[in-house]
């Protein structure tokens, strides 16, 4: 596996819990987001456009987080200093996530890792993977709200490889739906049966 070197990246790992979300529920959620085969196709195109830009993309997102103390605190240690080791380890997984969004099939391994990422933003697993000592969970409202940033900022990266405006729009639409699908699955970690 080419990404074995990404510390703490446990996609497909044997020890990973099975998502409480069923494949049937996933299918209905995809239908609700109107994620279709065209979106799947253009996500793959987006992947080829974004794969060598992940460092810049994550740096941009990090800049937004760093500019807001109420978000930056989730990467700070108990003394209130930025935890650089934590930040750099999470950054590598974040870069891998961009590739995964565009390339991974929505199968059971994928579903299980969405469950894991949800838990890593929540009490159960935040800080655990990297042995960090930052705030114990990210409030769900910020996870939801940050989708605005993740979606808004992707456009300038999608336009960089000379695709037509029509193709760029389709990549963008597919990206936005896919991100919403991911984040919606992550909210399961915050919810009861009503999820
Ligand atoms: C971890 C994406 C919102 C803070 C991660 C990871 C990804 C991710 C892909 C790494 C998962 C892995 O371990 O493989 C996103 C996306 C968001 C979002 C797409 C919203 C659309 C936020 C917000 C914050 C935040 C609002 C607050 C600052 C963190 C932290 C970690 C993390 C601290 C490390 C968790 C750990 O201890 O393992 N996020 N995130 N995230 N994210 Fe987010």
Q: What is the mean pLDDT of residues 30-42?
A: 98
What is this model's ipTM?
0.99
**Is 152 a member of any domain?**
yes
Does residue 34 lie within any of the structural domains? no
**Banded pLDDT at 5 (limits 50, 70, 90):** confident
CATH number for the domain spanning 99: value is 1.10.490.10
The answer, as to whether pTM is greater than 0.80, is: yes
pLDDT 10s digits, 43-85? 999 999 999 999 999 999 999 999 999 999 999 999 999 999 9
Range of the domain at 107: 41-190
Find the 121 Cα to ligand 1 centroid distance in Å. Answer: 6
Look at residue 8 and tell me if it is in a domain: no
On whether residue 185 sits in a domain, the answer given is yes
Angle formed by the axes of helices 165-186 and 23-33, nearest 10°: 140
Q: Is 151 in the pocket of ligand 1 (CB under 6 A)?
A: no
125, burial (CB in 10 Å: exposed 0-12, middle 13-18, buried 19+):
middle
Q: Say if 31 falls within a structural domain.
A: no
Q: 12, 121, 137, 148: which to mutate for ligand 1, most atoms within 8 A of CB?
A: 121
Residue 76, strand partner residues: 82
CB atoms within 10 A of CB 84: 10
**In this structure, is residue 145 part of a structural domain?**
yes
Ligand 1 neighbour 97 (Cβ under 6 A)? yes
Is ligand 1 within 6 A of the CB of residue 147? yes
Q: Identify the residue whose C-alpha is closest to ligand 1 atom 28.
A: 71
Of the candidates 88, 140, 107, the residue with the CA atom closest to the CA atom of residue 11: 107
Q: Is the distance from the beta carbon of residue 146 to the nearest atom of ligand 1 less than 6 Å?
A: yes
In a domain, 54, yes or no: yes
CB 73 within 8 A of CB 117: no
Q: What's the chain's length in residues?
A: 195
Burial degree of 164 (CB within 10 A; 0-12, 13-18, 19+) = exposed
Single out the residue of 24, 28, 40 nearest to residue 101, CA to CA.
Answer: 40
Query: 83: buried, middle or exposed (CB in 10 Å: 19+, 13-18, 0-12)?
Result: buried
108 lines ligand 1 (CB under 6 A): no
Q: Does residue 29 fall inside a structural domain?
A: no
How many independent structural domains does the chain possess?
1
Whole-number Å distance, alpha carbon 113 to ligand 1 midpoint, is 13
């Amino acid at each position: 596996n080419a990404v074995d070197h990404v510390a703490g990246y446990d996609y497909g790992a044997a020890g990973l819990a099975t998502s409480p979300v069923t494949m049937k529920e996933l299918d209905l959620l995809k239908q609700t987001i109107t994620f279709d085969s065209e979106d799947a196709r253009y996500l793959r195109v987006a992947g080829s456009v974004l794969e060598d830009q992940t460092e810049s993309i994550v740096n941009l997102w990090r800049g937004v987080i760093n500019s807001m103390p109420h978000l930056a605190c989730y990467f700070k240690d108990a003394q209130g200093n930025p935890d650089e080791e934590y930040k750099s380890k999470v950054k590598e997984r974040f870069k891998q996530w961009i590739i995964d969004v565009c390339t991974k099939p929505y199968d059971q391994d994928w579903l299980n890792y969405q469950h894991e990422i949800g838990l890593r933003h929540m009490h159960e697993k935040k800080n655990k993977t990297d042995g960090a000592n930052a705030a114990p969970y990210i409030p769900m409202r910020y996870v939801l709200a940050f989708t605005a940033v993740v979606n808004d900022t992707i456009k300038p990266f999608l336009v960089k490889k000379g695709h037509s405006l029509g193709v760029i729009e389709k990549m963008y639409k597919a990206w936005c739906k896919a991100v919403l699908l991911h984040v919606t699955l992550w909210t399961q970690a915050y919810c009861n049966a009503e999820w």
